[in-house]
A and B are shown apart, each in its own frame.
Chain A
Amino acid sequence: MAESAIRERNQLVVFALGTFHAAGLIVALVLALYAAGGLAPLLSSLSTIAGLALFSALWLTTVWSTHRTLRGAFTVAPWTAVPLGIMIPRAAWRGGINGVAFLACLGLILVISSAFNGDIGVVGFGALIFATVGAAFAFVIGLVLGLLFACVDLALVTATRAIVNNEESRP
């Protein structure tokens, strides 16, 4: 009973952080693109179904990636029990893997979308680029984002610890 409750709480932390990373990234990107005037052309080139599928894929791979990053990092509270020297490189590595996993999903969604439009020949050439140069780029971008979100998460964990401990120490 106690073990399943702890497991459920750990899953909540993984789900919350994974969703925060995916949602935060998309909102920040939309904000930056909109301010720069690049959002309308991008959105008009993307169908609603493809857009929903892309976000779902990013959400899924990011929660999975967060799960892999945080394995063994829990005690009773979500304060990390793993040294930072291990957590930070692990978060960066998992971010890179997430980038490649998302690229694979993106490729799959584009293949399905193109198959419906009858452009399957173009997709064959695109897949080759995706699998080579694209994967390397996706890994590097994912790695940088993984590192960035690890720093944000650590700052938020530190802030939470301070808030909870401060409240506990009050008479």
Chain B
Amino acid sequence: MVAIRVPALHALSLFVRWAHVAGMAPILGGALLVWWLGVRRKDANAGVVLDVAERYEWIFWAAIGVQVMTGVGNLGAFGDALPASATGWGTKLILKLIAVLALAVLSVPRTLAVVAMAGVKRPQPGLLSVFYGGTAIFVVGIAGLAVWLAHG
């Protein structure tokens, strides 16, 4: 019984970890795509950039939900062996959690602005580039913190 359960739990833990890492890809890749489309606005139709941005917002928020869900699952895998907050690892985790919270808070105005621009059909390519460039930089920072955390 134990021999069957342990590999199953291990597989679930691995799946949660995979989903956490994989969830980062659409968040970062999508932000880079919209930023890139925005900065080459001489070539790209601003309406198309806005359409892509709207699609990205759906993916972004779904991915944020998955990131939080799987992130807590990853911490749960530590059980009682979770390092204390006073350790170096704990400080890095606190930094990462604050950064994730800040990303969520700062992303709300971006989503609302995209919806507002789409509603009045008046895209502002400069603002879109700032929003998505900023998001990409922020996400790269969080990914860096995650790698730092994963290597102790």
> Are the CB atoms of B61 and A15 closer together than 8 Å?
yes
Which residue of B57, B77, B82, B122 is within 8 Å of A12 (Cβ)? Answer: B57
User: Closest CB of chain B to A33's CB: distance in Å?
Assistant: 10
Q: A34-B94, A75-B119 are in contact. List 17 more A-B contacts (CB 8 A).
A: A9-B115, A9-B119, A12-B58, A20-B107, A27-B100, A30-B75, A39-B75, A43-B76, A43-B79, A44-B76, A48-B76, A55-B68, A76-B119, A77-B115, A164-B117, A167-B127, A168-B124
> Are the CB atoms of B69 and A31 closer together than 8 Å?
no
User: Closest CB of chain A to B66's CB: distance in Å?
Assistant: 10
Whether, in the assembled complex, B4 has its beta carbon less than 8 Å from a beta carbon of chain A, the answer is no
User: Closest CB of chain B to A9's CB: distance in Å?
Assistant: 5
Whether, in the assembled complex, A37 has its beta carbon less than 8 Å from a beta carbon of chain B, the answer is yes
For residue B77, which residue of chain A has the nearest CB? A48
> Are the CB atoms of B73 and A52 closer together than 8 Å?
yes
User: Closest CB of chain B to A65's CB: distance in Å?
Assistant: 15
Number of B positions contacting A (CB below 8 A): 52
For residue B108, which residue of chain A has the nearest CB? A156
For chain B residues 39-91, which have a beta carbon within 8 Å of chain A? 54, 57-58, 61-62, 64-65, 67-70, 72-73, 75-82, 84-85, 90
In whole angstroms, how far apart are the Cα atoms of A66 and B105 in the complex?
A: 16
Which residue of A34, A37, A77 is within 8 Å of B93 (Cβ)? Answer: A34
With contacts A76-B120, A163-B113 taken as known, whether A27 is within 8 angstroms of B94 at the C-beta atoms is no
For residue B16, which residue of chain A has the nearest CB? A48
User: Which chain B positions have C-beta within 8 A of A19?
Assistant: 61-62, 64-65
User: Which chain A positions have C-beta within 8 A of B76?
Assistant: 43-44, 46, 48, 51
User: Which chain B positions have C-beta within 8 A of A17?
Assistant: 108
For residue B19, which residue of chain A has the nearest CB? A52
User: Closest CB of chain A to B56's CB: distance in Å?
Assistant: 11
> Are the CB atoms of A27 and B101 closer together than 8 Å?
yes
Whether, in the assembled complex, A119 has its beta carbon less than 8 Å from a beta carbon of chain B, the answer is no
> Are the CB atoms of B108 and A164 closer together than 8 Å?
no
> Are the CB atoms of B112 and A156 closer together than 8 Å?
yes
In whole angstroms, how far apart are the Cα atoms of A43 and B82 in the complex?
A: 9
> Are the CB atoms of A31 and B84 closer together than 8 Å?
no
